[in-house]
Copies of this chain bind each other. A is one copy, B any other.
């Protein structure tokens, strides 16, 4: 059985991505980055997902991105709320964290090389993707190329190095359907950018995309909203 490093944020997308890697038969090395996000509950959810899917190893790595990356998600700006679909679709929002997926994939790459695999999974999604540039197929392909040039495994062994993105072409509705089929427990995921205690706000872009996704999938969201 091959190994794979799976980036696991604790959100619904990364949980589904983990489910897809398990379905594909990989032994899982799950990597969660505690980057100082204001929605800390994500980390707890990542731990629950790792346990649920019985990963081989779950590494929670601290990097304080608040010191270098200005974003609504690291407390530098307000999280926007109550935006309509048109607004959500219009450009890159303040919740964008500069270079986040480049940083996360680089760390996953370092760990992958150490555990001896070229397979990395990330739950990015280019359909209902909130306008983040580092969720698009072009970015992923380019990173893959960079990773092949960057590493000993890429250079010495011409090893197949692949960034797997099982959700990239799915809508949120399709992601929830897929996740349900793969046994994801969505009560143990968290999407809200601005939770109120243990409850999701229901008003940020991420909550609105999640709620619409569950509705489109014809499923009930098990989370509590305020």
Residue ranges of A at the interface with B (Cβ–Cβ < 8 Å): 31, 59, 61-65, 67-70, 91-92, 96-103, 105-107, 109-111, 113-114, 133-134, 136, 138-139, 142-143, 145-147, 149-152, 154-156
Is A109 touching B114 in the complex (CB atoms < 8 A)? no
* B152 pairs with A111, CB closer than 8 A: no
| Contact across chains for B142 and A155 when beta carbons are under 8 A apart | no
Asked if A156 and B91 sit within 8 Å, CB to CB, the answer is: yes
Query: What is the distance, in angstroms, from A103's C-beta to the closest C-beta of chain B?
Result: 4
Identical chains in the assembly: 2
Q: How far is the CA of A98 from the CA of B106 in the complex (A)?
A: 9
Chief secondary structure at chain A's binding surface: helix
When distances are taken between beta carbons in the complex, the residues of chain B under 8 Å from A145 are 142, 145-146
Say whether A150 contacts B106, CB under 8 Å.
Answer: no
Q: Are B59 and A67 in contact (CB under 8 A)?
A: yes
Q: Jot down 29 A-B pairs with beta carbons below 8 A, ordered by A.
A: A59-B67, A61-B63, A65-B110, A92-B156, A96-B152, A98-B109, A98-B110, A98-B111, A98-B113, A98-B151, A98-B152, A99-B106, A99-B109, A99-B150, A99-B151, A102-B106, A103-B107, A103-B109, A133-B149, A133-B150, A133-B152, A133-B155, A134-B149, A134-B151, A139-B146, A139-B150, A142-B145, A145-B145, A146-B146
